[in-house]
Amino acid sequence: MDIIKQICRELNLKEHQVKNAVKLIDEGNTIPFIARYRKEQTGSLDDVELRDLNERLSYLRNLEERKEEVIRLIDEQDKLTEELREEINKAEVLQRVEDLYRPYKQKRKTRATKAKAKGLEPLANIIIEEEIETGKIEDIAADFVDEEKEVPNIEEALRGAMDIISEITSDNPEFRKEIRDIFYKEGIIICEAADSDKKSVYEMYYKFEEEVNKIANHRILAINRGEKEEYLKVNLSVPEEKIISILINHSIKNENAITTKYYKEAVEDGYKRLINPSIEREVRNLLTERAEDEAIKVFAKNTKNLLLAPPIKDASVLAVDPSFRTGCKLAALDGSGNLLDYTTIYPNEPRNEIEKSRKVVLEWIKKYNIDLIAIGNGTAARETEHFIGESLNHIDKKVAYTIVSEAGASVYSASKIANEEFPKIDVSIRGAISIGRRLQDPLAELVKIDPKSIGVGQYQHDVNQKKLSEALDGVVEDCVNSVGVDLNTASKSLLEYVSGLTKGTAKNIVKYRDKNGRFTNRNQLLEVSRLGEEAFEQAAGFLRIYDGDNPLDKTGVHPESYDNTMKLLDKLNYSLKELEKEKLNNIRTKIIDIEIDEPKVKMPTSGKSLKSLKDLKNLNLNSNKKSNKEKYEDRMEYLSKELEIGIPTLEDIVKELEKPGRDPREDMPAPIFRNDVLKMDDLEEGMMLKGTVRNVVDFGAFVDIGLKQDGLVHISEMSNKYIKNPLDVVQVGDTVNVTIISIDKERERISLSMKRKGKTK
């Protein structure tokens, strides 16, 4: 198999893109580095495309290794034919390779292996060959009766021979392939209650059936969990008679043979006892794998949007970790996230110290010049929100609050990282600090927590944990590197995700910083212990130095492009001082205004077509008839050749020079800040509200509209057009307008619509 061509076909990529990407990956380059600084080689593949490519590369390489191993194992048994070798080499999925290997695989003790040990294989072959049309099979079987071999009678001999035939039928790769297809195309998943009187969240599946090829991924995961928790019984129904008939038609060639009856019984037994349960397990495993892969993709996408939520810079924050009995933990943070003060108040039940608590909150707002209040969304969140909202009515200063997800805050609070940051502070207070910092800089704070604990997935504890961890680690890595990291303030946790850095080198960077003071240029990284040239190449472009020796160090321009960047600045009559002062906003205009020497091209005579000239594309480069876009493209092509640098890299340099140190998160929707409190009694059907998307799942999105319970926008209520996946419409963190379509106060459920227009509150 040509792996490169296979990936090209599957991912619809060009051969040079895949070849170069594979080469770069094999050389040890990280995905973020390849995506950002090797665009010319890969045709500008982004991080998601590169990770998909890398995943397929690993699978196909493992497939090739398994093929070689299977061929070797069969060859060692002297059973390898050229036809079989060809079939194995042609296989495009691992399942096909395993099917082809199955008849030759060394088995544990089975009924068939025991029958073979008793010398009954020749009798099985007689039945299979179907050559005898006269006499009685019992007379032939009598020759295999042997007390010493534990074959006491004819019935035992025939039963043993049929067990061998059953296993041969089960091991036939073509049979398995055909039956598997029938399971997929015609199979029906049937669920029923293990105990119909027992209440559970799985009641919709107590009497449920759906075709295998139509069942939604989230249903598969729900059914699996219900079965695991013993609320559901699940089986897969298929057209059994049809399958047995197909197997018999494939197997029986001579209906007149005296062995036919036994052959048919053996084939039927092979299906019912061996093939059916085996294929059912395979199909359910494959459905689960498909559902898990989709759930992981959704989780990864949600996590990415959560991590890339815009930071609230230079705002002092009062963080509140709500609770009832143990009180609400308060933490005051300055604009850089440094802890100023902390305490506990008791505005909720059972103590209800409302006035005393309000006095503390209002005093702190004044004392620490609080700009924003961050309230965790856990237990007592809405009660605490009500208290905060009412308290803000007692102060002249304009202060707003927002609800912040506290998923994973308790995990962080008890972690080694939290203990290193706040060794003398109680675990409960650390949670409040984390909530406040999540509002100030979500990415910097959330990287301290296992991504699985962030809480924006679906069935994340049910899916393959290794796959989930790998996917989420990749997402965090991509987010950290797309934003860039301040080399002088980043925590060890944040540095660990920078391209090319390890836990060891991240730790050494912090040590170097503590010992020598702040970094003033990127080259100082080479002085850090165990950080060599290769790691520097991978990491340098993603590490920012503000107010350093070289203004380029605060940009995403890689040091390898500094010389070309300086030439570009010189060409445009700019200096580093102007870059330092961020006064290059008109850089694109300057590029458009570059005068290019017209190429000397001999004009065609009347008999020639102008299109035949090689340099036609370059004619009239300075023409005023060209649009600014066309002129810009011409100049970029000219500069690319002049500076001997690829256009994608040149375009990235221009973007960085326009906004040095720009944070890409600025383009993401900001959180909704509120001053008033919304209660369930305030709601009515048809009311339109503004909300924040908290989680996206297969069947819709959960939206925070300021109540204790998030509302659900079902996929059918997202758009007037057909939507295959909710992620095509919304992302975690999006601000959306929603209309209430139903309210269930008893179960505290709110159904929302994004496609219906309602009246504003």
pTM score = 0.84
Q: Which residues contact 418 (CB under 8 A, 6 or more apart)?
A: 412, 427, 430, 434, 448
CATH of the domain at 696: 2.40.50.140
Domain contains 307: no
User: What is each CA distance from 30 to 34, 53, 76, 475, in whole angstroms?
Assistant: 6, 13, 40, 13
* Strand bridging mode 543-544 / 687-697: unpaired
Domain contains 492: no
The answer on pLDDT for 551 being more than 90 is: yes
DSSP 206-253: TEEEEETTT--HHHHHHHHHHHHTTSEEEEEE--HHHHHHHHHHHH--
Q: pLDDT of 45-81, one tens digit each?
A: 999 999 999 999 999 999 999 999 999 999 999 999 9
Question: Is the torsion defined by CA of 262, 264, 265, 271 positive or negative?
Answer: positive
**C-alpha to C-alpha distance for 695 and 673, rounded to whole angstroms:** 19
CATH of the domain at 430: 3.30.420.140
**C-alpha to C-alpha distance for 327 and 344, rounded to whole angstroms:** 6
Domain contains 549: no
Same domain (yes/no): 609, 732: no
The answer on pLDDT for 279 being more than 90 is: yes
pLDDT category of residue 391 using cuts at 50, 70 and 90: very high
The answer on pLDDT for 181 being more than 90 is: yes
Q: Which residues lie across from 402 on neighbouring strands?
A: 374
Determine contact, residues 81/59, Cβ cutoff 8 Å: no
CATH of the domain at 55: 1.10.10.650
User: Nearest CA to 302 among 167, 506, 460, 161?
Assistant: 460
**C-alpha to C-alpha distance for 559 and 548, rounded to whole angstroms:** 14
The answer on pLDDT for 524 being more than 90 is: yes
Residue % of the chain over a pLDDT of 70 = 94
Determine contact, residues 703/740, Cβ cutoff 8 Å: no
Same domain (yes/no): 285, 176: yes
User: Nearest CA to 133 among 254, 256, 261, 262?
Assistant: 256
**C-alpha to C-alpha distance for 252 and 539, rounded to whole angstroms:** 66
The angle that helices 240-251 and 260-269 make with each other, rounded to 10 degrees, is 130
The answer on pLDDT for 5 being more than 80 is: yes
**How many Å separate Cα 434 from the centre of its chain?**
24
Domain contains 370: yes
Same domain (yes/no): 590, 738: no
How many residues in total does the chain contain? 761
Residue % of the chain over a pLDDT of 90 = 67
Determine contact, residues 225/462, Cβ cutoff 8 Å: yes
Q: What domain count does the chain have?
A: 5
The answer on pLDDT for 665 being more than 60 is: yes
User: Nearest CA to 411 among 446, 377, 438, 437?
Assistant: 446
User: What's the pLDDT score for residue 619?
Assistant: 45
Tell me which residue range forms the domain holding 201: 111-298
Domain contains 495: no
Determine contact, residues 705/689, Cβ cutoff 8 Å: yes
User: What is each CA distance from 137 to 114, 124, 154, 191, 619, in whole angstroms?
Assistant: 21, 11, 10, 44, 92
Q: How many CA atoms lie within 13 A of 726 on its CB side?
A: 31
**C-alpha to C-alpha distance for 653 and 303, rounded to whole angstroms:** 29
Same domain (yes/no): 211, 120: yes
Domain contains 69: yes
Last residue of a domain, one of 298, 326, 357: 298
**C-alpha to C-alpha distance for 396 and 393, rounded to whole angstroms:** 8
Bigger pLDDT: 578 vs 591? 591
Q: pLDDT of 414-472, one tens digit each?
A: 999 999 999 999 999 999 999 999 999 999 999 998 887 876 666 777 888 888 889 88
User: Nearest CA to 361 among 413, 320, 301?
Assistant: 320
pLDDT category of residue 609 using cuts at 50, 70 and 90: very low
Same domain (yes/no): 413, 330: yes
Rounded mean pLDDT, 610-630? 57
Same domain (yes/no): 154, 294: yes
Last residue of a domain, one of 631, 660, 689: 660
Q: Which range among 37-46, 192-201, 676-685 has the greatest average pLDDT?
A: 37-46
Domain contains 506: no
Same domain (yes/no): 96, 184: no
Q: pLDDT of 733-751, one tens digit each?
A: 888 899 999 988 777 789 9
Determine contact, residues 280/150, Cβ cutoff 8 Å: no
pLDDT category of residue 301 using cuts at 50, 70 and 90: confident
SS3 124: helix
Same domain (yes/no): 142, 247: yes
The answer on pLDDT for 615 being more than 80 is: no
Same domain (yes/no): 268, 157: yes
Listed range (78-87, 137-146, 574-583) with the worst mean pLDDT? 574-583
Same domain (yes/no): 217, 125: yes
Is omega for the bond preceding 350 within 30 degrees of 0, making it cis? yes
Residue reference for tokens 């960047």: 565
The answer on pLDDT for 676 being more than 80 is: no
The answer on pLDDT for 13 being more than 80 is: yes
Determine contact, residues 462/500, Cβ cutoff 8 Å: no
CATH of the domain at 274: 1.10.3500.10
Same domain (yes/no): 173, 276: yes
Domain contains 73: yes
**How many Å separate Cα 333 from the centre of its chain?**
33
User: What is each CA distance from 478 to 39, 121, 211, 558, in whole angstroms?
Assistant: 16, 59, 38, 17
pLDDT category of residue 99 using cuts at 50, 70 and 90: very high
User: What is each CA distance from 618 to 318, 600, 634, 640, 648, in whole angstroms?
Assistant: 61, 10, 8, 14, 20
Same domain (yes/no): 475, 379: yes
